[in-house]
Each structure stands twice: as C-alpha cells, then as structure tokens.
Amino acid sequence: MKNTIYKISTLIALTLGTMTACSDDFTDLEPLGSTSYENFFQNEQDAIEAANSLYFYMKDEDMFSRGFFWYINASDDMVTGRINSTADNIKNFNMTGDEGYTFWMYPQSYKVIRRANDIILNVPEMELTVDLKNRILGEAYFMRAFHYFWLAHTYGDEVSGGVPIVTELNMFDDAGSYTRPASVTDNYAQIVEDLKKASELLPLFTTYNPEDKGRAHKDAALAYMAKTYLYWAEYDQSKYADAVSSVDAVTNSGSGREVYNTGNPAEDFRLLNSHLNNWGPEYIWTVVSGVNGGSKLPGISLENKGWGKYNGWGYYMPTNELYEEFEAGDFRREVTILKFGDDFKFFGETRKYQSENSLSGLQFNKYLYEYQFENPVGTYINSNGDDPTTILNVPMMRYSELLLIKAEALIMQGQNGDAPLNQIRTRAGLDPKTNATMEDLKHERRVELAGEFANRHFDLVRWGDAEAAYSKPLHGQVHTNKADPNSPFNLDVIWPARNFDPATMGVWPIPNRVLNSSGIPQNKGW
C-alpha cells in the first residue's frame, strides 16, 4: 500500500508541478481566427484588403440604394409610390430622428472614414511599390472625402455647424470627445484637401485592369472636388472658379471623359442609362452592381411587385411636375419616365405601361433597361428579390453633371455657360441656348439628372428654391381605370403642399442614436 501511495503521490506531484510551472503559459493564448490590429498592415495583401474594405458600404441598402435617396425623394420630382408612413414623414419633413430608414448613412459613412484613416495612418510606413502605395492611399483619401461629402451637405450648414471631422490625427480620441465644426465649410475645406491628395495619388481609371475597375481614380477625385466647390460656393462665391477649374481638370485628365453622343439623340440617352455604358465615356463614379449585389435603386423604383414577374418595391414614382418639365422634343423624357400607354419591354415581352400601384401613374424608366430581356433573372437582374439589383452600375456622378456644374459655376460668376450646357442639350436633340440663365441651368439640371443621386432636393435647397417648390402640391396622372393603359386621366393632387422652413430644414436631423452616442447637438429646428 505504501508503494501505491508513493506512486500516486509522485504522479500527482509531477502533474501538479508541471501544470503550475507552465500555468502562466497555459492562459497566455494568441488570438485565433484572423489577424488582429496589432499585426496587420504587414504586406501587400494586407494593404489591398484594407483598401477593399473602403467599398463595402457602396452596396449597402441604406446608403446608395435607399438610404440617401429618402432625402432625394423629398424633392418635387417624385413621390413615395405606396403606403409607407415612415417614408411619408421623411418627405413631409415631419421627422423625429428615430427613423430607421435614415439612420444608417451617418454611422456607415464614419465606418468608411475609420477604414480610410487606418490606411492613411499605416500604409505610408509600409514597404510597397510606389504605384500600389499611391493608389491605396489615394483610394483612402478619396473614399474619406466621398463620405464626408455626403455627410457634410446632408447634415451640416452654417446655422448648426458641420459634421465632426475625424481623421488619422484624432481617430483614437475618446468616445464623446468629437465636436461639430462651426460651419459646414470647414468640412468642405477638409474634403477638398483630401481630394487634392487623392487626385495626385490616384491613376486614371483607364489604366486599371478589368478587376480593378470600380476603385477610386483621378477623375472621380477631381469631379467630387468640383461638386464640393459648387456646394461650398453657396457660402463662398469664390469657390465657383475652383469648381470650373476642377471640371476642366477632368476634361483634360487624358482619360477621354466626354458626353456620350453618337449623334443619335433618339438612342443615346437610352443607351447611356444602361449597363452598356457602365464604363463608357461619361463614367465618373458609380455603385458597381451586378446580379449578386450593388445598388438596389433599380428594383426599389420598379413597379410594386413588377406586374407579377419580379419583386419590385414600388417606391420613388416620378411626378407630373417632372414630366412636364421636359421640353417638347426632348428625347430624354421617354427614357426618364413611363406613362400609361407607353410601350416598353419587360421580361422579353412588350407591354403597355399601366399601374394599379403608382400613385402618380408614372414610373421611372431610366433604370428599366436591364429588365427588358427574356429570362433576365440571374443574368441581367438579381434573382434575390430582397436584393433587386441589376447589372447597371447606378451612377453617382456622370460627366454630364460635371458640365452642368461648370455651366452653373460660370453663370453664377456672370460668365457665359453656354458651351458646357449645350453639349448636354445637343445630345438630347434640343436646340442650343444662348446666354443661358440660371433658370435654363436649373431646368437642364433637373431633366438631365432626374431620379439620380445628383440630388434635386439639395439643388432646391442651395438655390433657395425649396420653400417655394414645396409649398405647391404635387400632381399625378390619375387614370380613371388603372387597369387600362389607354384610359383617360385627371391631373390630381397626389401630395399636398408641405411646410418647409428654409432657415433650418436645408439640413436633415442627425439620427438621435448618433446624438446619444456622442453628445453632439442636433441640428437646429429638429
């Protein structure tokens, strides 16, 4: 027995002793699963994968599918096409800041900003080829600026201030320590600074391999610089000149950016707004989209339930006001808007447009090109009805808009803006203008960019036209028999006049959860 005790005790003593000896190591475990922040940014692949992360939210439903479009939907160009009180209250400027539809843009944008800051902080020290390092840094500066651009004009003005500026210099500050700059122009200055760096670092998109298309590029940086200057000029007239020079920089960048014009106005605008021109001469910046994801705007603005063929969501229906804004003979009208009785191809069959659902009796046609094909599901359009994308890269900025920016900036400086303006009109099959006025410019901007992220609502705000525009009711072509494409219609009020206070409603309420999380003040009046 003594022997047994001895044996057991030795065994136990040994095991316990060993365990104690290495017990410090026992609980000293390296994180498993993926690299951690401490040992990232080591090699080329790390840098590229970090840069890829900048684009994740491009396809987010709450960014450039609906997201920011809820605000654009407030304009006089469109109405919400179905019962939806949340959307209605946004359009009616009757918001609390708790709306789920408009929550995500703010935090998602700052997520991209954080990712850009990580790159700007870490990549300069890495050993990479000069071209790659420049490209990745350029992508980071561009994407940071791009998201600040959206945040700044959506939530910032001179009344309530800009949006907090978080860069690589203060990204690790404590939660709750970020404050709003005095004016949104501080944001614009920082955005332009980033875009300048980006435009110097980035290559022309024409130099990209097919697999790198969709990344930030020089023209995009210059283009957003132009638009930032245009918005900035609302507060500082001197920025119009900068807007013009930025547009010229794109035109002369060497990438061949020009208006898509084959001399066939009946066809050109249609083909421009199709996947065939995803990477065409007007490409500046888009949401890269395909059958596995991208911007859902085409499906969101499609007839509710797609006449039984597809899960269209039925929002964003054009108004009769927009329809009537088009001049006679403008080839863009039929490409932009479908009205009752219009022929269009859908899932391989020719239909006459009618709708029991559309509040206005109209439907945006711009994003419908990809639906025309027979059996388009899986090849032209996403089979997932909860993710109704098409292979059209939804435009964020087209070269046409740059010309309109230039024209506006010239006119606002008292110069002649006819040349850029008329490039657009010619393509549409319209006569050129001479000594175009701001009224001409506003008209052209409205019809050329209708239903796009160019942002008609914010145009009305910065032009000071919003109060007048929104104090009028909106009309639709309300047909007597919605089942019959040929039935007559009445021009009925489909949206009553709204109250818009230009002093404070030029900006939208910052989501309450953001305020609660950071302590920054809400925009005045909300």
Partner 1 sequence: MKPFFLYILSTFLKFMSTSMVFNNASFDKINLKLSPMKKIFYPFLILLFLICIGAQAQTVVQGIVYGKQDNLPIPGATIVSINDTNKGTVSDIDGKFSLTLVANSGSVTVSFIGMESQNLAYEGNTELTLYLEESMTNLDEVVMIGYGTSKKENLTSSVSTVSGLDKINSRPVANLNDFLQGNVAGVTVLQQGGDPSQQGTIVIRGTGSLSNENPLTVVDGMPYYGPPINPNDIESVSILKDAAAAAIYGAQAASGVIVIKTKEGVYGKPRVSIDVYAGTQSAAKLPTPLNAMQQSNVYNLAADNAGVAHQAAHDATQNPWGQTTRTNWMDEIFRNAAIYSANVNVSGAGDNANYMASFGYLSKEGLLKGTSFDRYSLRLKTDFYLSDKVTVGENFYFSRTNGVGTNASSSYSGSIINALYMPSAAPVYDENGAFHGVVPYDLSQFAGAYGDVYNPVGLLLRPTTNNPTNNFNSNTYLNYEILPGLSFRTTFSYNINNAESKQFMPMIPELGRTNLQNFLYETFSKNDRWIWDNQVSFQRAFGKHDINVTAVYSAQHTKYESYYQEGRGFSSEEPFNQYMGNASIFMNPSTYVYEDALTSAIGRVMYNYDEKYFISASVRRDETSRLAKINQSSVFPSVSAAYTISKEDFFQSNVINNLKVRASWGQIGNINSVGYYSFDVPLGVQNVILGENASIDYKAVYANRQSNPNLKWEISESTNIGLDASFFQSKVDLTLDYYVKTTKGMILPGLEDFHQGTAAADVNGGEVRNSGLEFSAGYASQIGQVRLGARGNFSIINNELINLDGYNKSNVDFISHGDEVRSTLYPYRSMVGQPLYATFLVPYQGIFQSQAEVDAYTKDGNLIQPNAKPGDFKFQDVNNDGMISDEDKVFMDSYLPDFTYGFNLTLDYKGFDLSMILQGVAGVKVFNGYKYTALNASQSGYNLDNRVLNAWTPENVNTDIPRLSTKDDNRNFGTASSWYLEDASYMRMKNLTIGYTFPAQLLQKIDKNSSLRIYFSTENLFTITDYSGMDPEVGGKGLDVGQYPVPRTFTAGLSLSL
Sites for partner 1 among residues 97-126 (CB under 8 A): 97-101, 103, 106-107, 110-115, 117-118
With 0-12 / 13-18 / 19 or more C-beta atoms within 10 angstroms meaning exposed / middle / buried, residue 429 is middle
487 scored as a contact of partner 1 (CB under 8 A): no
200 or 386: whose CB is closer to partner 1?
A: 386
Candidate residues 125, 127, 211, 439; the one interacting with partner 1 per rule CB under 8 A: 211
Is residue 23 exposed (0-12), middle (13-18) or buried (19+ Cβ within 10 Å)?
exposed
Which of 90-98, 258-266, 421-429, 450-458 is the region at the interface with partner 1 (rule: CB under 8 A)?
Answer: 90-98
Burial of 333 (0-12, 13-18, 19+ CB in 10 A): buried
Residues binding partner 1: number (CB under 8 A): 122
Q: Map the footprint of partner 1 across residues 490-519, applying CB under 8 A.
A: 492, 494, 496, 512-514, 516-519
Please provide the distance, in angstroms rounded to a whole number, between the alpha carbons at the two ends of the chain. Answer: 86
Report the residue number, 163 or 409, with the smaller CB distance to partner 1.
163
Which residues are bridge partners to 286 per DSSP? Answer: 395
Which residues in 457-476 contact partner 1 (CB under 8 A)?
none
Q: Is the dihedral of CA 442, 443, 444, 449 positive or negative?
A: positive
The DSSP 8-state label assigned to residue 54 in this structure reads G
Task: Report the residue from 88, 236, 343, 501 that binds partner 1 according to the rule CB under 8 A.
Answer: 88
Nearest alpha carbon to residue 92 among 65, 67, 73, 64: 73
Cα distance between residue 239 and residue 217, in whole Å: 23
Residue closer to partner 1 by CB (options 255, 289) is 289
Question: Which pair of structure tokens corresponds to residue 242?
Answer: 């900068």
Work out how close the CB of 54 gets to partner 1 at its nearest, in angstroms, rounded to a whole number.
8
Between 97 and 417, name the residue whose CB sits nearer to partner 1: 97
How large is the angle between the packed helices 399-412 and 418-427, nearest 10 degrees? 140
Residue choice 178, 344, 463, 489 for contact with partner 1 (CB under 8 A) = 178
**Residue placing its CB nearer to partner 1 in the complex, 186 or 465:** 186
Phi and psi dihedrals of 350, rounded to 5? -85, 125
User: Which of 384, 426, 487, 504 is the binder for partner 1 (CB under 8 A)?
Assistant: 384
Which is nearer to partner 1, 164 or 318 (by Cβ)?
A: 164
The answer to the question of residue 284 lying near partner 1 (CB under 8 A) is no
Nearest to 76 by CA among 367, 473, 445: 473
Pick between residue 34 and residue 435 the one whose CB is nearest to partner 1: 34
**Stretch binding partner 1 (CB under 8 A), from 63-71, 92-100, 227-235, 413-421:** 92-100
CB 401 within 8 A of CB 519: no
Q: How far is the CB of 131 from partner 1 (least distance, A)?
A: 18
Separation between Cα atoms, residue 526 and residue 341, nearest integer Å = 43
Shortest distance in whole angstroms from residue 184 CB to partner 1: 16
What is the spatial distance between Cα 463 and Cα 442, in angstroms, rounded to a whole number? 9
Shortest distance, position 174 Cβ to partner 1, whole Å: 4
Give residues 45-84 in contact with partner 1 (rule: CB under 8 A): 46, 49-50, 52-53, 55-56, 58-59, 82-84
User: Which amino acid, one-letter code, is at 344?
Assistant: F
Q: Which of 131, 212, 431, 501 contacts partner 1 by CB under 8 A?
A: 212
Which of 393, 422, 423, 477 binds partner 1 (CB under 8 A)? It is 393
135: contact with partner 1 by CB under 8 A: no
DSSP assignment letter at 123: G
DSSP character for 486?
T
Segment holding 520, helix H or strand E: none
The strand pair at 394-398 and 362-364 is best described as unpaired
Q: Is 9 one of the binding residues for partner 1 (CB under 8 A)? A: yes
Of residues 310-329, which lie at the interface with partner 1 (CB under 8 A)?
310-311, 313-314
Q: Which tokens is 365 given?
A: 């046609």
Q: Which is nearer to partner 1, 385 or 429 (CB)?
A: 385
Please report whether residue 294 would count as binding partner 1 according to CB under 8 A.
yes
Among 43, 85, 379, 486, binds partner 1 (CB under 8 A): 85
Distance between CA 306 and CA 370 in Å, rounded? 13
Q: At its nearest, how many Å lie between partner 1 and the CB of residue 401?
A: 22
CB 141 within 8 A of CB 198: yes
Member of 16, 169, 419, 468 binding partner 1 (CB under 8 A): 16
CB 371 within 8 A of CB 310: yes
Which of 125, 127, 174, 439 touches partner 1 by CB under 8 A? Answer: 174
Q: For the chain, how long is the longest CA-to-CA vector?
A: 115
| 347-376 positions binding partner 1, by CB under 8 A | 355-357, 359
Identify which of residues 219 and 330 has a Cβ nearer to partner 1 in the complex.
219
